[in-house]
Amino acid sequence: MKDNTEDKILVAAQKVFIEKGMDGARMQEIANEAGINKALLHYYFRSKQKLFEAIFKMVFSQIFPNLMELANANSPIDKRIATFIDKYISLLQKHAFLPTFILKEMNRDPKFLATIIKSSGINPPEIFAMLEREMNQGTIRRMDPRDLLINILSLSIFPFAAQPLFNIVLFNDDKAAYTQFLEARKNSIKEFVLNAILTKQ
């Protein structure tokens, strides 16, 4: 039977890091949450920083390889963008803590986050070159590729980051209704983005 201690540690650490942040979290708290002793925790992860890095790598590894696969695929650009939006929002639904956590840690140590993102396989120049080719072919209108990427990420992330407020103000604290709204946003974001960038042919 596979030893699942490392998985238990990652789940526990994620919970503690969300509640306390990187600076506020303590290894003893993580060990307690995982139901193990501190020595065993240090056996698997030598330091809090190593554990923090492992969590981010685990989550980001689910996002960015998909982005690079889509950047290099042969399907039409509208299909690739739509697929990325679907997958990205599905990931945020699965890891709803991620936007708030990233915003918090982005201010604490942006270089660390940048290093993790780059190590996950993302290559922005390659994505921008692909979008430039599409612009040259006339399939999408001319724009700064960074604008497009930031627009997609912002439209996808913000409703999750602001969920505690929006759920109360706009949905009368009806969590089920807000969950349905987030699912429906997959289509509304795709429609909004594609209408904004596709050339009329």
**Residue 28 to residues 12, 71, 97: CA-CA distances in angstroms?**
11, 42, 22
Looking at the structure, do residues 130 and 82 belong to the same domain, yes or no? Answer: yes
CA distance 90 to 168: 22
191 and 149 inside one domain: yes
Residue 18's pLDDT is what? 76
Q: What is the mean pLDDT of the chain?
A: 86
Q: Which residue range forms the structural domain that includes residue 20? A: 5-55
DSSP per-residue letters across 78-120 = HHHHHHHHHHHHHHHHHTTTHHHHHHHHHHH-HHHHHHHHHHT
Q: How confident is the model at residue 64 (pLDDT cuts 50, 70, 90)?
A: low
Candidate from 33-42, 82-91, 99-108, 145-154 with smallest mean pLDDT: 99-108
Mark whether 49 and 95 lie in a shared domain: no
pLDDT at 172: 95
Residues 42 and 106 grouped into a single domain: no
Tell whether 133 and 191 lie within a shared domain: yes
Return the CATH number at 152: 1.10.357.10
- Is residue 104 over pLDDT 80? no
What is the pLDDT confidence band of residue 62, given thresholds at 50, 70 and 90?
low
Q: Which two tokens stand for residue 90?
A: 């599905």
pLDDT value, residue 29? 94
Whether 46 and 75 share a structural domain = no
**pLDDT bracket for residue 196 (50, 70, 90):** very high
Q: Which residues contact 108 (CB under 8 A, 6 or more apart)?
A: 21, 22, 23
- Dihedral sign (CA 69, 56, 6, 44): positive
- CATH, residue 18: 1.10.10.60
**pLDDT for 1:** 36
For the entire predicted model, the pTM comes to 0.77
pLDDT for the residue 31: 95
Q: Are 112 and 74 in the same domain?
A: yes
| 12, 51: one domain | yes
Nearest-Å Rg of the Cα atoms of the chain is 19
The pLDDT-based confidence of 186 (bands split at 50, 70, 90) is very high
Domains: count for the chain: 2
- What pLDDT does 2 receive? 44
Torsion of CA 92, 145, 113, 116, to 10 degrees: 90
Q: What is the pLDDT at residue 50? A: 87
Q: Are residues 186 and 88 in the same domain?
A: yes
pLDDT tens, 43-56? 999 998 888 888 87
**Is residue 102 domain-shared with residue 11, that is, in the same domain?**
no
User: pLDDT band for position 23 (50/70/90)?
Assistant: confident
Is residue 150 domain-shared with residue 165, that is, in the same domain?
A: yes
Q: Are residues 76 and 168 in the same domain?
A: yes
Over range 69-82, report the average pLDDT: 87
